[in-house]
């Protein structure tokens, strides 16, 4: 009986450890959708990193807790984060006003102007 109980306990612990994480709700999203998934957010952030040739710390401030070396993704301490928000709004307006006809087979809008359009992998747009 003890063996069966221990095996059952290990199975339950194993199932709990492999349970997919709960939907994470991000804080301080002002331009991106509030219900964005982790996968979608990672894709957006990866596109920013590629288009500007930077790392996450370019826009995100370090944690105020000096005992860890993580970034505080919700913080607005770095001005680059607000600049990124303004750039996102700008490209959305440009695409809506001038390229709203640009759609794929499913009728979804395809942005013609993106970060890479001007940045070309550089922190600041190339003139």
In a domain, 46, yes or no: yes
In a domain, 3, yes or no: no
pTM assigned to the model: 0.75
Per-residue pLDDT of the chain (127 residues; tens, 9 = 90+): 777 676 766 676 766 665 455 556 899 999 999 999 999 999 999 999 999 999 999 999 999 988 888 999 999 999 999 999 999 999 999 999 998 888 888 988 888 999 999 999 999 987 7
Domain range for 43 is 25-119
What is the tally of structural domains in the chain? 1
**Spatial distance between the Cα atoms of 69 and 55, rounded to a whole number of angstroms:** 14
120 torsion bin: left (phi>0), alpha (psi -120 to 50), beta (else): left
In a domain, 18, yes or no: no
In a domain, 56, yes or no: yes
């Amino acid at each position: 009986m003890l063996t069966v109980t221990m095996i059952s306990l290990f199975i339950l612990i194993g199932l709990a450890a492999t349970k997919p994480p709960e939907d994470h709700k991000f804080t301080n999203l002002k331009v991106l959708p509030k219900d964005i998934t982790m996968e979608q957010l990672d894709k957006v952030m990866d596109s920013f990193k590629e288009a500007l040739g930077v790392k996450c710390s370019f826009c995100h401030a370090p944690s105020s807790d000096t005992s860890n070396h993580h970034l505080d993704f919700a913080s607005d301490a770095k001005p680059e984060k607000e600049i990124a928000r303004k750039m996102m709004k700008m490209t959305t307006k440009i695409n809506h006003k001038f390229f709203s006809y640009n759609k794929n087979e499913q009728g979804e809008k395809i942005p013609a102007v993106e970060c890479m359009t001007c940045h070309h992998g550089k922190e600041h747009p190339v003139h």
